[in-house]
Amino acid sequence: MRLSTNILAVLVVAFCAIASAEETANSKKITSLNLKQGKYSSFAYLLFDYFTCRAVVKNTGSECDALDEANAKLCRENFGNPHGFYGELVITRNVTPDILNNCEISDRGACVGLAHAIARQDTSICEKYFEGKYKQCCLAMATLDPKLAYSPQTLDFIYYLKALSSMKEKDCSAVKNEKLRFRCKAFLKNDISMCEQDSNFQTLLNKVKEDEKKEELAKRRSGETKN
């Protein structure tokens, strides 16, 4: 039985069209900040990428919960794509309970089907359940054959999975998309600091440090007033 049109539409986003040591500021970690008050809203895009990357490295969407509700949802959806949580899959070639749980984030039927195709390197699953370019995408993912890539995004995804499969950080260099390349290296090194590669991250850390100083000064003045 072929996958429905709705499921195939999900696959375009979820599988085949990827667009794209913890730092502290004084004693306060980015993960301990209250990011839901909008205080750091100007850094929303940066924090979204950062926590999505953390989710990839730690293999859990719960990392996204530090963000406000809207961005947390987007972060979880981003992590719900195979480039978010399929690292374990291509390394162990085993559809684990974690994979099945994470498939709940995306379309479960399509997600599980592709997971089994990749784990078993079984192209018959692609032939049976997918059509058109979606079948081509599944075949490319199952075989990790760059010649089957029909777009730059799909080619990047293949190289990403090939790097995870080889467990060699140097293989991440073949990935052209910068964010995906950083996530590839971060996952293989199990190093969250790799998620801080954006040049604007230091600006955020400086902002946190500046806010801490202001808060400390305000506390001192409040204490002096009471005395």
Higher pLDDT, 42 or 122: 122
Q: Does 4 score more than 70 pLDDT?
A: no
Return the pLDDT at 222: 78
133 plus 55 within the same structural domain: yes
Q: Domain residues for 216?
A: 199-227
Claim to verify: residue 123 and residue 208 sit in the same structural domain: no
Is pLDDT at 97 greater than 70 in this prediction? yes
Residues 105 and 182 in one domain: yes
Query: Per the structure, how many domains does the chain have?
Result: 2
Please check the confidence at residue 83 and state whether its pLDDT lies above 80: no
Cβ count within 10 A of residue 216: 11
- Residue 212 within a domain: yes
* In a domain? residue 108: yes
Distances (CA, A) of 3 to 79, 109, 114, 126, 161: 23, 9, 12, 11, 24
Per-residue pLDDT reduced to its tens digit, 139-194: 998 999 999 988 898 899 899 989 998 999 999 999 999 888 988 999 899 998 88
Same domain flag for 56 and 36:
yes
